[in-house]
């Protein structure tokens, strides 16, 4: 595991953006696993900026997002479709048909999840999975519990996750109770994983994830088993390491 700590979000995000851009430069048809949340916003900002300056093209790239809220239409302000369009897709030349996000509004969410896994499998292993971590150790929306799943699945969000994400909604009750998330399979099979963690309020969970027991109670702890894990931190997140 390679751990790098940065003093500013700008530096951290720049490193991550260059990491992704270098990968696409070396492999123009790279398959990228992408994340949402507050953490990667700076990365996407810099990626858009660097994409414009470097002219590295995303025309052959495919991206698969980790998750989507169940019940939010793609046009909903807080859907991850909207997030990705706003923060990344509108600023790069990725063809829209190469941008995959789990479907949160199908009549049969489980069937849609199986379709998503089929698409993932056809695309081949992810060349890179970008990840954040939840305060409870979740990756994607793989929440702590007795079991973890390899496949894309519907998940009931924990109270902690809903409370954390309620900052984007007017009321806690508006935060969806369910989501669809990629399972641990494609994440662990990704050729590389880039985990980004910012803020002192993630320091304790990060320590647990990287140095505690590997357990379903802290899904990010499985990353200890990944052969090519790079962890990018700010000083707050690195505080307990």
Interaction site with ligand PGA (CB under 6 A): 37-39, 132-134
For residue 34, which of 171, 145, 187 has the smallest C-alpha distance?
A: 187
Q: How many CB atoms lie within 10 A of CB 124?
A: 12
- φ/ψ of 211, rounded to 5, equals -130, -5
CB nearer to ligand PGA: pick between 39 and 129: 39
Q: How big is the chain, counted in residues? A: 241
CB nearer to ligand PGA: pick between 57 and 166: 166
CB nearer to ligand PGA: pick between 102 and 134: 134
For residue 184, which of 123, 120, 231, 122 has the smallest C-alpha distance?
A: 120
Two structure tokens written together for 119: 């698409």
Smallest distance from ligand PGA to CB 140, Å: 7
The catalytic residues are 67, 136, 138, 143
Nearest residue relative to ligand PGA (C-beta): 37
Beta carbons of 126 and 32 less than 8 angstroms apart: yes
CB nearer to ligand PGA: pick between 98 and 102: 102
Rounded Cα distance, 68 and 105, in Å: 9
């Amino acid at each position: 595991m390679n751990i790098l700590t940065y003093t500013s979000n700008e530096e951290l995000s720049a490193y991550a953006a260059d990491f992704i851009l270098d990968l696409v430069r070396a492999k123009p048809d790279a398959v990228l696993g992408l994340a949402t949340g507050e953490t990667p916003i700076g990365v996407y900002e810099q990626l858009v900026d660097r994409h414009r300056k470097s002219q590295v093209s995303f025309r052959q790239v495919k991206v698969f997002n980790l998750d989507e809220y169940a019940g939010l239409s793609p046009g909903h302000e807080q859907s991850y479709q909207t997030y990705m369009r706003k923060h990344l897709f509108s600023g790069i030349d990725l063809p829209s048909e190469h941008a995959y996000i789990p479907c949160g509004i199908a009549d049969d969410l489980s069937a849609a999840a199986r379709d998503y896994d089929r698409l993932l499998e056809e695309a081949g292993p992810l060349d890179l999975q970008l990840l954040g971590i939840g305060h409870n150790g979740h990756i994607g929306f793989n929440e702590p519990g007795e079991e973890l799943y390899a496949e894309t699945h519907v998940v009931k969000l924990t109270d902690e996750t809903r409370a954390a994400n309620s900052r984007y909604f007017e009321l806690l009750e508006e935060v969806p109770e369910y989501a669809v998330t990629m399972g641990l399979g494609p994440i662990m099979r990704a050729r590389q994983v880039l985990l980004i963690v910012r803020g002192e309020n993630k320091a304790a969970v990060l320590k647990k994830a990287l140095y505690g027991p590997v357990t379903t109670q802290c899904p990010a702890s499985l990353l200890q088993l990944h052969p090519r894990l790079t962890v990018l931190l700010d000083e707050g997140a690195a505080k307990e390491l």
